[in-house]
């Protein structure tokens, strides 16, 4: 096995963002081999440290979401902290921040100042609504992004209210875009001769990240005059594609949308004639008769146990899955064989399960992340590289700079 490092090995990222979206960008880069240093205020009062799940006083969300990072503390709002920060930033490739637009400028850390210290610095600014526009300085949270993008409007039953899922999906998606943006900026910068490498500012709006996922909806609205509505779990653009309950109470999701798959599904149901029914012969016709085909499928699933249904659908090569809880996922033989979950060593809890590094680079050993750091745990090591000795560090600590 080749133990060559992952693609971002050698890249240094300073993550001074809070909560989830922007820090997730840095975490994903750390999974790809980057060295990531997490900067917090000396009080360690990042809101993620108080979000559930918390086990016996230990913030599991913090430990997993900020995995693979070193931890330092610094109050950049103080003059001494600002001075130390500008020395620190000289040694990094990327700065990740998510403060409200203009906040770093007000602290004397505007982009020209940062680039005077480090002309090659890439700055990712991840905010709710971007650096410009009338909403630029509004506070942003995942559910706000999901609401304003139209994402929540599509979630829920047709006759019920819009819904959010029980997880900050808007933050996670914005974080993915942030990691992609960092990798893109690094590729552009590093393709040039060293003397021509200039840092860039990345303006990432979390709301626009969610908008980007809803690819055809604006075009659909313009040319049909109709805004797509929620339909529960039933897809309105392909059929059959819905969630169905089995005789023994399990839920499955099933996709029979392509015409060849639908033929196989009809055979699995023992109803081959349905594939020749003019209402169901093509996907276009099936979407026009969604309720009819769904009623047939719902009745069939309700008459079969999960085991019987699984056998029939597998034999016919029809895409389906039981709706998994996380308990099902961690016990699934395929995920176990793939090593889809790893253990993060933890001095307080022994170890913590977490998703493995994604994606995999074949023939290489993925980095083994550590848990999210304690506040300031690596101050001595990181600041020591800048020439700050033990006595100076203690003075800074006494002044609440670090």
> What is the arithmetic mean of pLDDT over 70-85?
97
Q: pLDDT tens-digit profile of 249-263?
A: 999 999 998 999 999
Q: Which residues contact 213 (CB under 8 A, 6 or more apart)?
A: 151, 173
Q: Which residues contact 270 (CB under 8 A, 6 or more apart)?
A: none
For the chain, the domains span: 12-213+338-398, 241-322
pLDDT of residue 1: 39
pLDDT of residue 4: 65
pLDDT of residue 45: 87
253 φ, ψ (degrees, to nearest 5): -110, 140
- Say if residue 212's pLDDT is above 70: yes
Q: pTM of this prediction?
A: 0.94
Q: Please give the full DSSP string across 141-159, using - where no structure is assigned.
A: -HHHHHHHTTTGGGSS-TT
% of the chain exceeding 70 in pLDDT: 99
Q: Give the C-alpha separation, 333 to 180, whole Å.
A: 31
Q: Hey, what are 20's tokens?
A: 């989830």
Q: Do the domains at 12-213+338-398 and 241-322 have one common CATH topology?
A: no
Annotated catalytic residue, options 93, 171, 332, 378: 171
Q: pLDDT tens-digit profile of 298-337?
A: 999 999 999 999 999 999 999 999 999 999 999 999 999 9
- Say if residue 133's pLDDT is above 50: yes
% of the chain exceeding 90 in pLDDT: 97
Element (H, E) at 293: helix 290-302
Q: pLDDT tens-digit profile of 278-300?
A: 999 999 999 999 999 999 999 99
- Say if residue 63's pLDDT is above 50: yes
Q: Which CATH superfamily is domain 12-213+338-398 in?
A: Crotonobetainyl-coa:carnitine coa-transferase; domain 1 (3.40.50.10540)
Could you confirm whether 171 is annotated as catalytic? yes
Architecture of the domain spanning 241-322? 2-Layer Sandwich (3.30)
Q: Which residues contact 88 (CB under 8 A, 6 or more apart)?
A: 14, 74, 382, 383, 386
Q: Hey, what are 207's tokens?
A: 């709301």
CA angle 86, 87, 92 (to 5 degrees): 85
Over the chain, what is the mean pLDDT?
96
pLDDT of residue 67: 97
Q: pLDDT tens-digit profile of 89-126?
A: 999 999 999 999 999 999 999 999 999 999 999 999 99
**DSSP 8-state class, residue 49:** G
pLDDT of residue 257: 87
> What is the arithmetic mean of pLDDT over 40-45?
94
> What is the arithmetic mean of pLDDT over 59-86?
97
Question: How distant is the alpha carbon of residue 7 from its chain centre?
Answer: 19
């Amino acid at each position: 096995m080749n133990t060559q490092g992952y693609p971002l090995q050698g890249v240094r990222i300073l993550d001074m963002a809070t909560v989830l979206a922007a820090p997730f960008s840095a975490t994903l880069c750390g999974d790809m081999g980057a060295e990531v240093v997490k900067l917090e205020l000396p009080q360690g009062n990042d809101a993620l440290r108080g979000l559930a799940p918390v086990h016996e006083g230990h913030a599991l969300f913090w430990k997993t979401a900020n995995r693979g990072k070193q931890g330092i503390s610094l109050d950049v709002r103080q003059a001494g902290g600002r001075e130390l920060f500008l020395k620190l930033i000289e040694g990094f490739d990327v700065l990740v921040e998510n403060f409200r637009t203009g906040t770093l400028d007000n602290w004397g850390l505007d982009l020209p100042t940062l680039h005077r210290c480090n002309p090659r610095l890439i700055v990712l600014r991840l905010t709710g609504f971007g650096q410009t526009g009338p909403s630029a300085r509004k506070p942003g949270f995942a559910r706000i992004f999901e609401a304003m993008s139209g994402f929540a409007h599509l979630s829920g039953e047709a006759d019920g209210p819009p819904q959010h899922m029980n997880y900050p999906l808007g933050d996670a998606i914005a974080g993915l875009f942030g990691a992609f943006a960092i990798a893109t900026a690094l590729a552009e910068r590093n393709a040039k001769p060293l003397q021509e490498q200039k840092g860039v500012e990345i303006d990432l709006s979390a709301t626009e990240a969610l908008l980007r996922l809803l690819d055809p909806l604006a075009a659909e609205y313009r040319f049909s005059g109709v805004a797509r509505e929620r339909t529960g779990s039933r897809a309105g653009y392909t059929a059959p594609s819905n969630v169905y309950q089995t005789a023994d109470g399990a839920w499955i999701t099933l996709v029979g949308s392509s015409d060849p798959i639908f033929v196989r599904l009809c055979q699995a149901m023992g109803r081959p004639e349905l594939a020749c029914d003019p209402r169901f012969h093509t996907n276009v016709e099936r979407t026009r008769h969604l309720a009819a085909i769904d009623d047939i499928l719902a009745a069939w699933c309700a008459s079969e146990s999960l085991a019987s249904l699984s056998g029939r659908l597998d034999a016919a090569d029809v895409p389906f899955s039981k709706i998994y809880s996380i308990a099902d996922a961690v016990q699934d033989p395929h995920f176990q064989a793939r090593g889809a979950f790893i253990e993060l060593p933890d001095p307080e809890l022994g170890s913590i399960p977490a998703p493995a590094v994604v994606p995999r680079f074949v023939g290489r050993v993925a980095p083994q992340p550590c848990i999210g750091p304690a506040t300031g745990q690596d101050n001595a090591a990181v600041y020591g590289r800048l020439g700050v000795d033990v006595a100076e560090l203690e003075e800074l600590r006494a002044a609440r700079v670090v």
